[in-house]
Structure 1
């Protein structure tokens, strides 16, 4: 069977297979260090196209992996049909209802631009290039999570295609089990074609980055600990050790505050006591410019990351982070969690009792396959292991880790039961399958 010809008979969108112009580019994920050897790539024309694809896959014994933008790819998609949903680009912001309805191809930057005009915000992360759907299916750790919880907690409804190829709308009332699973449990249970979610008031937003040379790392970390020790939920701060290729090491503190600039400056005054700032971008900013704080790349590239959840930020952890240069890593970051993220949630994402996340990132070398980056990440993670919980945020999982790492025992058991019930034929495969 020529899979490309068969797929072209059932979908109206673009179908590419090996040998077709553009196939190699279409199969690549966001992280170019991950190789995806898929059988075909389908860029669906619309939700009906997605339904037709699922019905065909079920009859033909095919498996579909859905990647709106390719973030979170692991390479476990050999021989599958890779579904792209970039053309599902509906974006409807309803300010009176504080509500947004977005298609599966819409990115956070688009939502924030649209919502900003009304003094509203979605629960976006640091990158405007991430799709709302993929991020939210994994829970979604936002700049504003300390105030409003996971992005998945704000979802009102999902438009889906189930494993029989039937379109439906899923709410807490219509299908409580599936609604629970889709809010943070990943994409293993249905293909989401659109999401409806709450927007939150953000008439004033303060944020930015303060940066120093690396000799100020200890003083900046002391200030960071002071700030996070009493931070209200409206304030989020991240501490970063940075070492870009060809440049001297740096240290930075990134922050957002949902409120007035004067109040933010009072809460952050400990940073002003650390002298020698080489840059300071803090100030009032539109929600649409949230991504400017960290200025993460908006184009795909290779990378290797590792994350741990910390049970605290004691002296031992701080000394480990400051003891040696972070090279060959580009960044070692502490993210303050807590607040609403620590509250119970009737969703697969649940609550995070851990007050900090540790995130380490580097670019794999051309000669060692990333061994040096992995080794440095391993050494840091091992040194702080007495203060890690063993759980990881779903959207921070990386190749080699499992979905079970992101959930409580009860949650992963419930997700697995639902997977067996809703997809016994294995029509769908997420980046991190719950049965693995």
Structure 2
């Protein structure tokens, strides 16, 4: 008689004896909560989930999965999930949230599940700042591995450019500390290669002497949006690299949670972070204020620890899909076309964002990494909430918007792919999830590194690296 299949409960019990965190199977109490993340439109349905509490738990989980041929996914907060993943083993890292700051060395070490809302205050206690993004509730490790385009990026570059070391569990279950001196090739690939090469359990990054900034936002009503598009793009050509900004075009829902003055409006929100003197900041933003009356004007001197209120990104989990384009240039007419196709007049209105790049983002870092397309001057992202059963309808709207900027598109940013891949599709489709993210030579280099480190493609339930040839 053929051997019976292993009992999944017995296998889970075996794993549970080796880890400190919970090990759960479908149907177990707490399983759904352990699988849930910020992105509610993408369901994770693993065969087993491990809530890792320490690096040794990650090692045990990876070894367990490798021995049984189970694909592995990893999730901290679940903001940037590629798509639904069924089967395999999911490692949740949210319990691993330790943060340590070395003020003398101007560095921070944080574990895999730490969010920026923990890292920023710890650094601020010493008059320092990390290169965090706009949303405090996002995981610091996953953000940095994807490149990390943040509030101070034009002055200091990508967060990935300022990583000192990375603690990584590879497909063989080994825990390594990866540095530029110790393993330059792997160190290169991890910074930009995200979770394709293993499970990062912690990293050390540089901090910067930023205690206060001139920051906040200006919000304009619908009738000023057209004038603001042209003014903003022209203005970005004049500002110093100590000023990082973005323009968000947002259809505000008509719901009680939105301030009454903003409900139901299509608004333009300019976000500013400037590390210079507040008086100079006032002078620099004068051309924007001159566009017309503001619905809100919340620009001023602020402690960096409060930088999360510049964008005031949503904190409630929800369903969303989106994509992005790194642009070599952008004029007002192209941007108006994008707004016409995906803005308030479209079948499914989207949030449209333009982030000003350049400055340090355009220069090669001291230690090269896999983050590419550094010649881009702007990043355009389009993000929307699909109606029930309307994912393809939303994607069609977004595709048309990106077709409008195709002639000036250099590539895409990994951090701003929202539910764009699918771990259950064939190899060609999986490869297309990161289409355009990497320079062609870098993609081939990453694929060689992946083949050497993970020949069975164990880590395939996140965005994947697959050679084009």
- The two structures have a TM-score, normalised by structure 2, of 0.89
Alignment of 1:392-431 (within 5 A): 392-398=412-418, 399-400=420-421, 401-431=432-462
1:358 and 2:380 correspond = yes
Query: What SS class does the counterpart of residue 79 from structure 2 fall into?
Result: coil
Q: 1:395 to 1:416 in 2, by over 3 A?
A: same
What's the counterpart of residue 13 of structure 1? 21
Cα pair 1:204 1:259 within 8 Å, conserved? no
Cα pair 2:214 2:302 within 8 Å, conserved? yes
Query: What SS class does the counterpart of residue 285 from structure 1 fall into?
Result: strand
Alignment partner of 1:42 out of 5, 30, 50 = 50
Alignment of 1:124-135 (within 5 A): 124-135=132-143
**How far apart are 1:430 and its partner, in Å?**
4.9
Q: 1:10 to 1:244 in 2, by over 3 A?
A: same
What's the counterpart of residue 82 of structure 1? 90
1:335 and 2:352 correspond = no
C-alpha separation in 2, matches of 1:166 and 1:385: 43
Query: What SS class does the counterpart of residue 62 from structure 2 fall into?
Result: helix
Cα pair 1:208 1:282 within 8 Å, conserved? yes
1:130-173 residue CA offsets vs partner (Å, 9 max, x unmatched):
11111111111111111111101110001122221122211001
Q: 1:322 to 1:181 in 2, by over 3 A?
A: closer
Cα pair 1:86 1:106 within 8 Å, conserved? yes
**How far apart are 1:222 and its partner, in Å?**
2.6
Cα pair 2:245 2:356 within 8 Å, conserved? yes
Query: What SS class does the counterpart of residue 187 from structure 1 fall into?
Result: helix
Cα pair 2:133 2:149 within 8 Å, conserved? yes
What's the counterpart of residue 3 of structure 2? none
**How far apart are 1:181 and its partner, in Å?**
0.7
1:163-199 residue CA offsets vs partner (Å, 9 max, x unmatched):
2112221100111111111111111112111100100
What's the counterpart of residue 377 of structure 1? 398
Q: 1:412 to 1:404 in 2, by over 3 A?
A: farther
C-alpha separation in 1, matches of 2:133 and 2:166: 20
Alignment partner of 2:321 out of 304, 321, 324 = 304
1:394-432 residue CA offsets vs partner (Å, 9 max, x unmatched):
111232452242101110101100111011122322511
Between the two proteins, the alignment pairs up a number of residues equal to: 434
**How far apart are 1:342 and its partner, in Å?**
1.1
**Structure 2: runs of 5 or more not aligned:** 1-5, 255-263, 422-431
C-alpha separation in 2, matches of 1:322 and 1:167: 47
Cα pair 1:240 1:252 within 8 Å, conserved? yes
Q: 1:260 to 1:75 in 2, by over 3 A?
A: same
Cα pair 1:10 1:56 within 8 Å, conserved? no
C-alpha separation in 2, matches of 1:310 and 1:351: 9
What's the counterpart of residue 291 of structure 2? 274
Cα pair 1:344 1:350 within 8 Å, conserved? no
Alignment of 1:208-219 (within 5 A): 208-219=216-227
**How far apart are 1:382 and its partner, in Å?**
1.6
C-alpha separation in 1, matches of 2:142 and 2:175: 19
Q: 1:324 to 1:76 in 2, by over 3 A?
A: closer
Q: 1:12 to 1:325 in 2, by over 3 A?
A: closer
1:41-88 residue CA offsets vs partner (Å, 9 max, x unmatched):
100121111112222222222222111112221225321100011122
Q: 1:76 to 1:426 in 2, by over 3 A?
A: farther
Cα pair 2:357 2:378 within 8 Å, conserved? yes
Q: 1:98 to 1:358 in 2, by over 3 A?
A: same
C-alpha separation in 2, matches of 1:168 and 1:84: 19
C-alpha separation in 1, matches of 2:96 and 2:136: 17
What's the counterpart of residue 165 of structure 2? 157
Query: What SS class does the counterpart of residue 121 from structure 1 fall into?
Result: coil
Q: 1:370 to 1:190 in 2, by over 3 A?
A: closer
Query: What SS class does the counterpart of residue 252 from structure 2 fall into?
Result: coil
- The two structures have a TM-score, normalised by structure 1, of 0.95
Q: CA RMSD in A?
A: 1.7
Query: What SS class does the counterpart of residue 184 from structure 1 fall into?
Result: helix
What's the counterpart of residue 119 of structure 2? 111
What's the counterpart of residue 98 of structure 1? 106
**Structure 1: runs of 5 or more not aligned:** none
Q: 1:194 to 1:271 in 2, by over 3 A?
A: same
Cα pair 1:187 1:430 within 8 Å, conserved? no
**How far apart are 1:268 and its partner, in Å?**
1.2
Cα pair 1:186 1:430 within 8 Å, conserved? no
C-alpha separation in 2, matches of 1:155 and 1:82: 26
Query: What SS class does the counterpart of residue 313 from structure 2 fall into?
Result: coil
Q: 1:325 to 1:107 in 2, by over 3 A?
A: closer
